[in-house]
Structure 1
């Protein structure tokens, strides 16, 4: 892409993608809401359109942006047209797309979003918060998904909904994982089933709570603050547990996959329970756990996930181990070494380090990628995080006490 085309794109796309924008007269945080990354998930779009009608500039300290995701797919009410926009955000893939001249529909959307994102980051100093609204094809409680950096975990705890960790190890290229690698707080909010009015209400509530928790709007300026909090608390059935994804059923090309009707996210299941069929053969649960995001739509290749509760003791332990940088001692163990001496990236030889399992690395804030049968490649969420940017934020100081 030539320089002249890039400049035109930067100025035009931010206008086309704006659901709403409010830049306050006083300095503060910058919050960016994304909605409609999947074209059949419109609750977030409707919620942000509503929210911006009730935001008064004089009451705003900082900046608020609401951005459209997959505009073409939204117009067609389809999850995507050519490929999933929320699976393109691998740094190497984005770089390749930027250097191409021919694009798929979603690649064009990704380029435009990239330049909007860069424009916002250049214009403001932060701290930055990124919220991506989604809905599910199955019935579900509202919940938050995060990459497990402590800044994400601490901020997420402010909301009265369940938190799900670790999904980024199973999905390649979500937008929020890309933003997390830049070091910023970023949360995915799944508001409920696609077409339910409560999903819109949940997104509205989450929007206004976010604006208060980030210090952009004082509580007294958020209309019905307590009501918004209670809405999410009740919709989440007062569940505030933290869960971890332990399994994903990936649908293969040409596979005839069908979920058995009636499952909803967070529903307990027992080992041996029939969950779905693959080419008319039953798929049985391998775990006594909870089912998560079962697929009841035609597009998508994530059949279902399985999650389990993380006990509070392990959450506290992981925070302590990260605070003392325990991970820096790992390279003294056999079978573990830094990748090209890069801090925050480890390679583990599983033939030697058989005694170490993925949950141990999760405690220390590492996400893993399997490299064949013998090696794990691990990346630190904490070393990517711009923690210093958030240390003076009220929520960070309060929860860190």
Structure 2
């Protein structure tokens, strides 16, 4: 492995569902950036004698980072704008990979010693964007192991109310993020997830760290984040994309650690003529089964967090969970089907009034 300067290093250890990852970096600021993304989904722990895996982070002082490339070798390009990886060497339990997190970014080098249960990540010096590699490796370490251990990844938003997780299930741009944001600002809920959750075999809900996308119809600051335009049902929808740190700082949102599943709201469009903006009804088996199947359909997200090359010693891939099993688990907690007549009204419609009596803890001011 490339020899890193070990004279002054910052260290921390993260734990999630019993798995422990040791992180070491040349500066505490770099580790703080990683923990700002992964905590409180993960806990910061005292250093263990034998963590499950270690990631050592160093810097390449050369301008532009490493020049190691292998133009004649295949490149693994991960989905959702993920890293582009090329295997340089793989012998005797040691793996050497070069990669670019984005096509126009400088090259980083990843070296893996499987016997020592250690990954060494060499980043371009002074490139503030390169910390994304650290976030990604930590997510791969935890997600690959949890999914192999029976956890399920769901396309859902979630908040914490009265010590329990409230899940919002809907199709793409169906109002999940909007209701999670409103629950935080109007009900005093803590934030768990904008786009992805992990649901454990024991019903524990982990808010998976992702960027947050909020409709500009909501009262959110415009001085931070990135403005995005999209088209839904033939209409332009503008959203503000925020990093977890921007989300916490700009909006003053409190994040929640993992919690037991407590409630489920499925959001669905209704084409009934003269339907109210929102109307809540008891959540029936068919609606829940359909929502669970759609929420589990996240092949790109699962692939993005799979350890395909063994960079953190985790399982390479995991299959999708059974939708019927997930639906049965979700049916064991209070739930509601929220019928939406006009999606543009979700940011202001009397959602909580509609859900009272079906979902505990949603009364404003309680």
Structure (1/2) with the larger helix percentage: 1
What TM-score do you get using the length of structure 1 for normalisation? 0.26
What TM-score do you get using the length of structure 2 for normalisation? 0.28
Structure (1/2) with the larger strand percentage: 2
